[in-house]
Amino acid sequence: MSRNRGQSPSLFGNPILHPLNVILIINCLIFFLQYFANQQLIYRFGLTPDFVLGGAVWQVFTYGFLHAVDLIPFHLLVNMYGMYMLGSNIIPIIGKTKFTILYFASQIGAGIFVVLSAYLNTMLGGNIPFLESMTTQTIGASGALFGLLALFGIFYPNAELLLFIFPVKAKNAVWVSLVIGYLISQLGNAAISNTCHLGGALTALILYKIFQKQIKPGSLPYIPGLEWEAPRETKIQQKAKPAVVEDLFQDQKKINESVLKQIDSKKDKDSVINYLQGIQVANANICPPSTYNTEDPICLRCEWLANCALRKAKE
């Protein structure tokens, strides 16, 4: 079977080398390797604060590519699904480069936060339940994932997310997740690193402050069900310059006014029809006949006025 050489392979609608796919593929490949050397990989590349302070500094980064190896890879599936869904809505806003920086910086920031937490716990006696221990091993991409979740909550604060079975506004998702995670880890004795999650979210919030002025809301696509809210500074600027919206339609208004003058100058119906047929817009989705009104401000600014005018002339 032949393949178009100009068409590069894709995955989930994105090119193979798209950041979302690169992150996904790397995590899946390493997960596959864990089936053969799980304990060795976790020992050398999982995050153990005592090892990091002893010189294994790479662990604050590499831990984010390791996941729990179970019969059903729930840990990997949840993290990668969340990464892909959140990333798909964040990349149109900040771009691929900033997204990649944000993801891996959140992963590293979360790892550093775990180490600092464990060190602080040791300095305070080692019995603080909210803090990490020096010998606890941390693995998983959830630190980076919480960085994405924090940013998603800023861009789409009123979008609803399902956390376990609870619908939560995106602006509250990080903090609700941390509370639920802490309750589960305390009551259910589950191995959840809430410190890692918090570190990833805080890192992303710091990076957002750095990137904030470079975000351009006008470049955003429409995402059904999600209303992106521009930063407060952008909203103020938009209110200060209301005339900009009006200027967008001035050229089309002048064109339509010229068309109407030409129609008025014609002496008979056939002349009007011949004139309008020459300026029709292809594949126009024109309004119902009853809405056509040459004095309506909307009609005067519509690029399909000539189509409606032709239909009117043929009546």
Q: pLDDT tens across 214-247, in order?
A: 765 444 444 444 544 555 544 544 454 444 444 4
Q: Could you say which DSSP state residue 291 is in?
A: G
Residues 6+ apart with CB under 8 A from 69: 31, 34, 35, 38
- Bridge partners of 226, per DSSP, are 223
Q: How confident is the model at residue 248 (pLDDT cuts 50, 70, 90)?
A: low
Residues 6+ apart with CB under 8 A from 269: 313
> Which phi and psi angles does 184 have, rounded to 5°?
-65, -45
pLDDT tens digit sequence for 138-153:
999 999 999 999 999 9
Beta carbons within 10 angstroms of residue 22's beta carbon: 14
H-assigned helices in 212-304: 232-240, 243-247, 250-265, 269-277, 297-300
Q: Is the dihedral of CA 28, 32, 33, 37 positive or negative?
A: positive
Q: How confident is the model at residue 272 (pLDDT cuts 50, 70, 90)?
A: confident
Q: How far apart are CA 170 and CA 49, in angstroms?
A: 31
Q: Quick check: 202 pLDDT over 50?
A: yes
Residue among 106, 105, 96 at smallest CA distance from 22: 96
Q: What is the pLDDT of residue 285?
A: 74
- Bridge partners of 162, per DSSP, are 167
76, HSE (Cβ side, Cα atoms, 13 Å): 20
CA 212 to chain centre: 14
Of 45 and 313, more confident: 45
Beta carbons within 10 angstroms of residue 224's beta carbon: 5
Residue type, 126: G
Picking from 54-63, 113-122, 163-172, 289-298, which range would have the lowest pLDDT averaged per residue? Answer: 289-298
| Averaged pLDDT of the chain | 83
* pTM of the shown model: 0.67
Q: How confident is the model at residue 271 (pLDDT cuts 50, 70, 90)?
A: confident
Contact 42, 25 (CB under 8 A): no
